[in-house]
Structure 1
Amino acid sequence: MTNLKNKLYSDFNALTLNFTSCKNKSLEFDIQVQNLTQQQNNLMAENSQVNKKNHDLQTEMKTLTEEIKICKEQKLSQALQIIDEYCPKVEQVRNCRSCQNGWIHSQSSCYVVHNPESWNQKTWEEARENCTRKSSDLTVVGSEKEKVKTDKSWKDEEGNMKGFWIGLRAEGGKWKWMDGSDLTNQTWIKQQATDGRCVTSLQNREWKSVRCTEKNGWICEKKALSV
């Protein structure tokens, strides 16, 4: 009987140990399952982010492709327009010239004179912006010969114009041109350079210093092409 009890006790202890071992392994398995589940969730979240980023990149690439296409079409259209302006067709033959249609060729430059009605005249800044859109700038006078040409050419046929803006304005107490150079011949304008003042030109009248916010006509200038 004692041996039987001992055997039963021994078997019970063995079962207890096995149960404890199984329980511990079950806990370890549960932890591993939880870890694997968490890793799976993390991977799914990362995959979702990657998919979203990939979708965003594809959308951005599509947008950029469209913008590049539009830009190329605009550049081509502008190039063709410039070709037509500088080299118009006459009986299917292109006749190229130094300046675009409507521009005046003088020495190495092209000029266009804007003499609008009073309601469409512009401030100095507005006039310069208009020139910029034509790939030009307000005219810069570099020599006495050019000044004489400018003073004689830009006139108001109807006597309505107060003056034409040129590319000269006061900066830091000096008269400066649009190319950044100083006015070297001070006899061209006798008035002092006061900030906020710009210069106009008109036939039979000295250059005049007026407020840059006044409205006037304007003269644009750009380099002539070599043809």
Structure 2
Amino acid sequence: MNNVKRSEIAEVIYDDVMLMTETVEMDRGERVEMMVDIYDSADTVRYHDLRTNTERHQPLQHTGSVSVKNRKHRAVEVCLCLVCVLLLTAVMMLCVYFTTERNQLLNHNNYLTAERQKILTKYEQILIHNNNLTEEREQIFTKNKKLIEDKEHFLIMNNNLTAEREQIKNKIDELQCVLYEQDQRSDNFKWIYYNFSFYYISSEMKSWSDSRQDCRQRRADLVIINSKEEQEFLQKVAGNDHFWIGLSKTAGVWKWIDGTTITKGYWRYQYSSSYSDYCALMTSSGWEVYPCWNYYVKKYICKRTILKSA
């Protein structure tokens, strides 16, 4: 009876080994179930081994039966060793599998972390670039607004200058008409235009005071020279004649008829200081000194300014 039981146990272990071999390629869940069955079979084998050892202490009845028992015991031991090897292999495979899965998960997590960092860095760069574009847009908008304001200002200035030009043109036309009428009344009168001023070049001779009075009657006055260019222009006009200008000396000081003291003179000769009353004459070579007494007569130049030059 014991031999029958042992045969059944060996068959069970053999079937378990075969099942273990067939389930090596199964999925993880089936492997776990197979391991539980193997452990149950191992417990059953240990139980039968205990019973076998107990029976060994009993006196043997037959020598042939002992040899058979030894061979069966060896078969059981071999099967148990094989089961242990298979269990160890299964555990190692599971360890390798889980270690590989863990490493893959760690690598994938590191990869995702690196990708996330790249995305965050790119997002920050985009935000910085967007802020720079916003600032540039504000600067361009401000410049454009300033250009529009400047354009409007220039348009207003242009309109004002156009209106002033029209007014000046009208004044010049009006003054030219008046001067033309005066020229028509006497062939001896002559007006010349230069740099927003009209100059009356007389052909008759008068004293300095009478010359100034005549200029005032013509809504002008004896010429006051304000620049080197004007001096050169009047020197060309004078030619070979001498003309009174609005410059005289009183108490040793040369002054223009508006009361200002000369800062720069265009004298033909250098004269010594004197407290006598003298007046200046315009010639083609510069100014000359001449007495202002009433019996000294010369031609004269009157000036009427319509607008101050820029």
Q: TM-score, normalised by structure 1?
A: 0.53
Aligned pairs, number: 161
Q: Which residue of 2 aligns with 1:32?
A: 122
SS in 2 for 1:87: helix
Question: 1:203–1:2: structure 2 CA closer, same or farther, 3 Å change rule?
Answer: same
How far apart in 1 are the matches of 2:263 and 2:146? 50
How far apart in 2 are the matches of 1:170 and 1:191? 17
SS in 1 for 2:256: strand
Question: 1:96–1:61: structure 2 CA closer, same or farther, 3 Å change rule?
Answer: farther
Contact 2:215 2:302 in 1 (8 A): yes
Q: Which amino acid aligns with 2:155?
A: T
Contact 1:165 1:200 in 2 (8 A): no
How far apart in 2 are the matches of 1:19 and 1:96? 107
Q: How does 1:36-55 map to 2 (within 5 A)?
A: 36-55=126-145
Unmatched runs of 5 consecutive residues or more in structure 1: 116-126, 155-161, 194-198, 208-218, 223-227
The two structures, once aligned, show a CA RMSD in angstroms of: 4.7
Q: Which residue of 1 aligns with 2:256?
A: 165
Q: Which residue of 1 aligns with 2:174?
A: 84
More helix, by proportion: 2
SS in 2 for 1:191: coil
Q: Which amino acid aligns with 2:129?
A: Q
Q: Which residue of 2 aligns with 1:61?
A: 151
How far apart in 2 are the matches of 1:84 and 1:73? 16
How far apart in 1 are the matches of 2:137 and 2:240? 73
Question: 1:170–1:12: structure 2 CA closer, same or farther, 3 Å change rule?
Answer: closer
Q: Percent identity?
A: 12
Q: Which amino acid aligns with 2:143?
A: K
Contact 2:201 2:302 in 1 (8 A): no
Q: Which residue of 2 aligns with 1:118?
A: none
Displacement of 1:114: 5.7
Which of 141, 154, 160 is equivalent to 1:70?
Answer: 160
Q: Which residue of 1 aligns with 2:272?
A: 191
Q: Which amino acid aligns with 1:62?
A: E
SS in 2 for 1:58: helix
After the TM superposition, which segments of 4 or more aligned residues of structure 1 sit over 6 Å from their partners?
none
Q: TM-score, normalised by structure 2?
A: 0.40
How far apart in 2 are the matches of 1:80 and 1:88? 12
Q: How does 1:1-227 map to 2 (within 5 A)?
A: 1-88=91-178, 95=181, 97=183, 98-99=190-191, 104-106=200-202, 113=215, 142=238, 145-147=241-243, 150=244, 165=256, 171=264, 176-177=265-266, 182-183=267-268, 190-192=271-273, 200=279, 203-204=292-293, 220-221=302-303
Q: Which amino acid aligns with 1:165?
A: W
Contact 2:199 2:302 in 1 (8 A): no
Question: 1:20–1:163: structure 2 CA closer, same or farther, 3 Å change rule?
Answer: closer
How far apart in 2 are the matches of 1:79 and 1:103? 17
Question: 1:28–1:206: structure 2 CA closer, same or farther, 3 Å change rule?
Answer: farther
How far apart in 2 are the matches of 1:42 and 1:50? 12
Q: Which amino acid aligns with 1:36?
A: I
Displacement of 1:5: 2.1
How far apart in 2 are the matches of 1:170 and 1:164? 10
Provide, for residues 180-201 of structure 1, a one-character-per-residue CA deviation record: whole Å limited to 9, x for no partner: xx415x6xxx5349xxxxx745
How far apart in 2 are the matches of 1:163 and 1:206? 21
Give the number of the structure with larger relative contact order, counting CA–CA contacts within 8 Å between residues 6 or more apart. 1
Unmatched runs of 5 consecutive residues or more in structure 2: 1-90, 184-189, 204-211, 218-223, 248-252, 281-290, 305-310
How far apart in 2 are the matches of 1:22 and 1:206? 116
